[in-house]
Amino acid sequence: MPKELKFYRCGLLLICLALAPVYIFGQDLGSSSGLFSSPKTKSKPKPAPKKPAPKPKNTTTTAKKTTPKPEPKSKTTTVAARNTVKTVATKPVAKKNTTAKSAPKTDSKKSASKTSTASKQPAKASPNNVIITVGQTTPPKTDLPKTDLPKNNYEELFEKFIEEGNAARDEREYSKAEAAYLRAQSLKIKDSRAIYGLGNLYSDQQRWEEAESAYRTAIEFEPNSPEAYIALSFVLTQPIIGMDLGNRYGEAGKMARQAIKLDPTNAVAFDQLGVALELDGAVGDETQNAYRKAIELDPNFALAYAHLGRLLRRIGQNNQSSAAYRNAIQKSIDVPTMIMVADVMQSQQHYLESEELLRRALRQDPKNPTALFLLGRALTTRSSFEEAEKVLKKSAEISPNSFVSYALLGSLYTRREKFDDAEKYLLKAMKMVSPNERKRLAQDFEAVGDGLLRTGKNKDAARVYRQAIALDREKVSLSEKLAKTQN
């Protein structure tokens, strides 16, 4: 399989919609562990080998045994995928000056000089009796380099910051990674690598609107990069509440076709085309052929098998679907692929089956926030609330700026009728809710208010209903419920 395709296959991670009782976020969410591969840094030339010193005459030398150094362990990156009619897009990696062919991530050595950035912490929830004002998270402050440095110094600093961003992203130190990429961008504003890296980072945390903006900018700077088109196509297939999803899915298909035009051998581009078509309601030959073409180009592309299996089940070809799913599971040998295939299973409500793959993935990568989120969702759906609570809290701890973990925790506590805890986590989610997620979050607050009103806690219910109204002022029933609390 071509090296450039290995990156794509390892770059995909899916987060799917849960069942109706569970908080619904979108068709597919991105991987918190690195949707697409990280930006490349320029390799430094190796010094010429030194000539061995001449041996002294008439002396015997004892050969020293050298222990071969172990090869560095490869660190795979992860990508996002989709849900309902779900598909997966690859996560492009921040690239080099030209269209970068991404290789799998390797463990980055930590730089001796650590960046001094303020780590971004989730905003504390306000007291229960205060209405939270929704706002976007603020990028971390960075100590930008002086602008009077020689050009060579700028190049070295740029590469240094890209490397630091990649290493921090590998370690899930998202605030540190964001600060490093922003520093790199301040040095070379039109270099697509830093912007692409930011897009990947935002996708890792499911900050879709910020990721979309970053990828569109990357395409402006590097219009011949198939990876950037795939990344944008992937983001456009996320079902963001309040947007015209039909138009977004249509544009996602166009982006995938452009990637195919630029690279006709790109298996991930064909798989992403299938996803966009399926989400847009097309379940005929064109969609099936897109998935099969991806498999033809990369016979080990487990995610494409999973997508094909899902499509075949939708059109009633259950035997062929089962065979495709078996292939997907058999070829899931790395963490990102396990997560992607598990996500497709969840899109078909096979939550129990998905747990096996997710637990295998977490044994190899215990800090993978996407695997934790998916496992938490599966456990919540199966009413295994205690374990789900632990798993989701860990996911939120690792990715503190990710809206979805807090929101799902709020939904979990609502189902358990722990309304105070539910409100607490929904307030945290409210700190980072995007404009298009406000109505969805309002529904969660409304469910908490309903529970409090049902148990006779009218004063608390009134407070929660006001939070819901602050998010969705057009919903008349919220004001009616608020009025009931005064009785």
Distance (Å, whole) CA 402 – CA 92? 20
Residues 6+ apart with CB under 8 A from 218: 92, 192, 195, 196, 199, 225, 228, 231
Which residue in 153, 235, 220, 168 sits closest to 189, CA to CA? 220
Distance (Å, whole) CA 159 – CA 337? 30
Contact 23, 411 (CB under 8 A): yes
Which residue in 464, 442, 428 sits closest to 123, CA to CA? 428
- Could you give all domains of the chain from N- to C-terminal order, each with its CATH number? 3-41+74-364 (1.25.40.10)
Tokens standing for 215? 């990828």
The residue to which tokens 């581009």 are assigned: 269
pLDDT of residue 99: 36
Tens-place pLDDT, residues 263-293: 999 999 999 999 999 999 999 999 999 999 9
Task: Tell which wins on pLDDT, 439 or 205.
Answer: 439
Mean of all residue pLDDT scores within the chain: 75
Q: How confident is the model at residue 151 (pLDDT cuts 50, 70, 90)?
A: low
- Percent pLDDT > 70 in the chain is 68
pLDDT of residue 152: 62
Distance (Å, whole) CA 358 – CA 342? 7
Contact 331, 305 (CB under 8 A): yes
Determine if residue 281 is left, alpha or beta; phi over 0 gives left, psi from -120 to 50 gives alpha, anything else beta.
left
Task: Specify the range with the lowest mean pLDDT, choosing from 9-18, 51-60, 444-453.
Answer: 9-18
| R_g over Cα of the chain | 24
Q: What angle do CA 355, 359, 360 make, to 5 degrees?
A: 120
The listed range with the strongest mean pLDDT (7-16, 123-132, 308-317, 427-436) is 308-317
Distance (Å, whole) CA 294 – CA 279? 17
Q: How many CB atoms lie within 10 A of CB 104?
A: 18
Mean pLDDT of 200-210: 84
Contact 332, 338 (CB under 8 A): yes
Count Cβ atoms within 10 A of the Cβ of residue 18 and give its class: 0-12 exposed, 13-18 middle, 19 or more buried: buried
Tokens standing for 26? 């979108």
Show the DSSP H helices in 138-282 as ranges: 151-170, 174-187, 192-204, 208-221, 226-236, 245-262, 267-279
- For the cut 80, the answer to whether the pLDDT of residue 310 exceeds it is yes
DSSP string, 65-80: P-PPPPPPPB-----E
SS3 145: coil
pLDDT of residue 243: 64
Which residue in 4, 339, 81, 34 sits closest to 197, CA to CA? 34
Residues 6+ apart with CB under 8 A from 378: 346, 351, 352, 354, 355, 358
Tokens standing for 9? 């296959």
Q: Do β-strands 88-89 and 80-81 pair in parallel, antiparallel, or remain unpaired?
A: antiparallel
Distance (Å, whole) CA 369 – CA 388? 13
Task: Provide the 8-state DSSP code for 435.
Answer: G
Q: How far apart are the first and last CA of the chain?
A: 69
Tens-place pLDDT, residues 395-420: 999 888 878 889 999 999 999 999 99
Contact 187, 154 (CB under 8 A): yes
pLDDT of residue 428: 94
Which residue in 208, 231, 215, 271 sits closest to 403, CA to CA? 208
